[in-house]
Each structure stands twice: as C-alpha cells, then as structure tokens.
Amino acid sequence: MKLFENYPLGPFNLKNRIVMAPMTRSRALNNIPNGLMATYYGQRAGAGLIITEGTSPSPNGLGYARIPGVYSEAQIEGWKKVTEAVHEQGGKIFLQIMHTGRVSHPDNMPVGSTILAPSPLTLEGEQMYTDQNGMQPYPQPKEMDDTDIATAIEEYIQAARNAISAGFDGVEIHAANGYLIDQFLNPITNKRTDNYGGSVENRNRFALEVASGVTQAIGADKTGIRISPYGAFNGLGEFDGVNDAFISLAAALDKLGLVYLHVVDHSAMGAPTVPDSIKDGLRKAFSGTYILSGGYDKESAEADLEAGKGELVAFGRPFIANPDLPKRMKEALALQNPNPDAFYTADAEGYTDYGVVQSS
C-alpha cells in the first residue's frame, strides 16, 4: 500500500506517508514545552512526519491557555526534549508556527502583550476559555500598523530559526483556521485599504512575506504551509473569488519552492465541504508535496493516494488515542477512541496514557 511506503520530502526520507496533524493539546505550562510533551510526541514517532501543535512566535500570538511558544530560550530548551524524543524513535518533526491574531484573550497572554489583527474587528458570537476566569468574550483587537506588521513578520522568521536551533526538521507556517495569516487572506477580517488589503495580491502579501522570509532563513526545503480555503472557523468562511485567491497564493508559494502545501478540509467535522475544484486548482498550481487532510481512514487515504490527489495524508484525532496508529492501520487492528473531555486539560490523563499494541 502507498500509505506505508517511504516518501522523500525535501532532504528527508519519511518512513511512511502518514502525517500526524497539528492539534492543540494545551499541556505547555507557562507556555514552555516540557517532558510530558516529549513523551507524547515520542510515543507517536511512528508517523512518517509529525507536525506539532500550533506554537506562537511571540507573546502577542498566545491565543489559548497553555499553548507553547518558541520565542524564549526556555521554550527552545523545552522543545529540544521533544525533538530528541522523536528523533530517538526515527521520526521526523516539523514545528507549526501559529500566531492567533484576534483569536485571543489577555488572560492567556503575558502582561504587556497586545491582541493584533489586520483590522479592528472583534470575533463575535464565540468565547475564549481562560484558566483564570473560564469562558470570556473576545476583546477588540488592535489594527496592525506598518511597524506591527514588520515586527510580526520578523517574529515568524526568528521563530523558524529558533525551531531549527531546537532540533526540528522544519516548520509549517499556519495560514489556516482563522488565525493571523488567514485573517489577512480573508476579506471578512481584512478591511484594510493599504498594501495589505483590498485586492487579492494585497491580501496575500503578508502570507507571502512571511513565507519568503522563513525560506530565506532556514531553506525552502524545510518550510511547509497550511491553508484552509472555505474554512469556517473563528468567524471566517467562503468569500467572493475564494478559488482564484487561494490558487494565486499557491502559485506564488510554489515560486518560493516550499516543500509542501497542507490543505485543511474539516467537512468530516461538520464544516462546509471544500469543493474538488479548489483542491484540483491548488494541486495544479503547487508543484511540491501536497498533504491531504480531513476525516481520513486507512481505506480512504489509500484511495486518494492511488488516485494521485496528494502525496501524504494527515490524521488528527485518531492519533490522540492511538500513539501507534501506523502500526494499527498496517496490521488492521482496532482503534481506540479518544476522551474529548481531556483534549485541552493540563496533565497526562487522556494525553500520554493511551495503550499501544505489544509486538508479537
């Protein structure tokens, strides 16, 4: 089966085509990666590629409670435990760099941080969990000025450098799911009238400047990106010209030589269907590795790989309860079910305590 074949991703030889998708797990106490997280990722190193949970490039990007950062020495040292644990098991691991933008709350951020966004539009109708005060309404973000934009771009670039220093094989730029880069891409949240708003070219500019800077800093062969056309998360959704906008973005990213394009499809979880037209358009516009995602099991993943729809397939929630997911899929063994109540708690329960199949 293609799913279990080796795959050359840039300079790396992946032991299979199974990707562990990025999933927020909220175990980074004080926003610093720790030994518990190293155990969690090390347990799942049977994946051809692990993409970490979203990790902030700065204090301003810490949206959720207990998510990790990669901007301090303590965080870099903490991540070294994780990369060593994965590499000891023969795995490969990319760090996902995620600035949450307006999807944040001061209770989840250090004193002196600022909630930033392309435009000063509050995320309405939803709330953010905080450890201190439970669910809270989203505050109005500050509209980013030229200095804020330049600073944020440099923070992404430095985060990529820090990731390499921490031992990561590469990084994934999170440009999906309604976070900061996606807020620039989508006219629902981008009402700017300067060089970063209005036209498709201008709305794509921030993403491309981040991607260009990161590739120059660590190499295009170590840089991937995640996008979510038609994504309806964190107040975003479909907009006029969405296909052309994302295909234009993919073509520009292709010119930068990024190693992969990771496309989000959450329709299996109730989100709007991502049409085949945009998937096919992205596939044609981007010549690098294409990572499929969205409610896959072994059979559907194999079918789409055989059909040439992508080169790698990302699995999310199945990896939570099945640290040995590749082994279970290869040997047609039963999968365990995760405990949703422990997805975002702070300890080992529902995190590192799922059993694995013993080798015969």
Tell me whether residue 179 is one of the annotated catalytic residues.
yes
* Nearest in space to 177 (alpha carbons), one of 253, 239, 266: 266
* Residue 264 falls in which region: left (phi positive, over 0), alpha (psi -120 to 50) or beta: beta
Output the six-digit token pair for 138: 């989203």
Q: Collect all residues with Cβ–Cβ distance below 8 Å to 227 and sequence separation of at least 6.
A: 175, 176, 182, 185, 246, 249, 250, 261, 262, 263, 264
* Residue 7 falls in which region: left (phi positive, over 0), alpha (psi -120 to 50) or beta: beta
Residue from 7, 64, 156, 179 carrying the catalytic annotation: 179
* End-to-end Cα spacing for the chain: 22
Q: How far apart are CA 162 and CA 69, in angstroms?
A: 10
Q: Decide the pairing of beta strands 12-14 and 7-9.
A: antiparallel
Residue 121 sits at φ, ψ, to 5 deg, of: -105, 120
Give the ranges where the chain is alpha helix by DSSP (H).
Answer: 35-43, 73-88, 146-165, 180-185, 200-218, 242-256, 276-285, 298-306, 317-321, 325-330
Q: How far apart are CA 132 and CA 177, in angstroms?
A: 25
Burial readout 323-345 (b: 16 or more C-beta within 10 A, e: otherwise): bbbbebbbeeeeebebeeebebe
CB–CB of 179/99 below 8 Å? yes
Q: Decide the pairing of beta strands 127-130 and 260-263.
A: unpaired
CA 26 to chain CA mean position, Å: 14
Q: How far apart are CA 93 and CA 37, in angstroms?
A: 13
For the annotated catalytic residues, the residue numbers are 179
